[in-house]
Structure 1
Amino acid sequence: MKRLTLHSLQLLVAMALIALWHIGATVKIPAGWVSAKAFYPLDPFFFSTPFAVFERTWRDFVTGVIWYHLGITLLETVLAFAIGAIGGVLVGFWFARQHLVAAVFDPYVKMANALPRVVLAPIF
């Protein structure tokens, strides 16, 4: 498949998803015989429209507000990586030096390693 065709199809899928998001957030669906009230497929309390998200993001970039928040996010990411890396290296050295500790924790380490990383995301 040509690269241009692939990129065109990827862009088309992205546009279709944004269109479905917009329709789900703005168009009321009549409930029919189940209920007298019409409802939004995507509750406006939880889902904004794509235009409102773009507008807010643009305003935050123009006013410079977003840079503060991006800085905090970057700082937290770097700190979390450093804490995890240092902790992992220390625990690894501990397991390497203390064979009994490594043998005791081996099944738990293997069990945790078998979990998909996506499953752990909601916990953290």
Structure 2
Amino acid sequence: MKRLRLLILQLLVAVVIIGIWHVGSTVKIPAGIISQKAFFPLDPFFFSTPLAVFERTWRDFYTGVIWYHLGITLLETALAFVIGAAGGVLVGFWFARQQLIAAVFDPYVKMANALPRVVLAPI
């Protein structure tokens, strides 16, 4: 019974989030309540409606066009991993062989390592 209750609560959270998304992207707040102009809480330029997103996703999978784009994304991800790993290994060997270089760059390497990975995502 606990698993069923947990599943229902998890689905309820998803429904509430999608509901907030839908209301925020379709209901316009009238002028004078918060600002001088009427506006959508979620600007349609940046946020589509959930229904439009699900329709587009369904169409892309149904027609098969999504597989091309997923393939490109997978290729770019693999190439980025290989380039980053190779660069990291080369710099690591360079630091291991050149103690002065390692000592000079040590605080910067530690600073970069202390950054949360999420901060680097937009780069």
- TM, length-normalised to structure 1: 0.90
Shift of 1:3: 3.2
d(CA) in 1 for partners of 2:43, 2:120? 27
Shift of 1:31: 2.3
Alignment of 1:39-50 (within 5 A): 39-50=39-50
Shift of 1:82: 0.4
Hey, what does 1:108 align to over in structure 2?
108
Hey, what does 1:38 align to over in structure 2?
38
Aligned residue identity for 1:122: P
Shift of 1:117: 0.9
Shift of 1:68: 0.5
Hey, what does 2:23 align to over in structure 1?
23
d(CA) in 2 for partners of 1:4, 1:96? 55
CA RMSD of aligned residues (A): 1.6
d(CA) in 2 for partners of 1:101, 1:5? 58
Aligned residue identity for 1:27: V
Instruction: Note if 1:4 corresponds to 2:4.
Output: yes
Shift of 1:30: 1.5
Q: Deviations over 1:88-120 (max 9, x none)?
A: 111111111111111111010001011111111
In the alignment, structure 2 segments of 5+ residues that lack a partner are none
In the alignment, structure 1 segments of 5+ residues that lack a partner are none
Shift of 1:2: 3.1
Hey, what does 1:55 align to over in structure 2?
55
d(CA) in 2 for partners of 1:2, 1:91? 51
What SS class does the counterpart of residue 4 from structure 1 fall into?
A: helix
Percent identity between the two aligned chains: 83
d(CA) in 1 for partners of 2:5, 2:76? 39
Moved over 6 A (4+): none
Aligned residues: 122
d(CA) in 1 for partners of 2:31, 2:6? 39
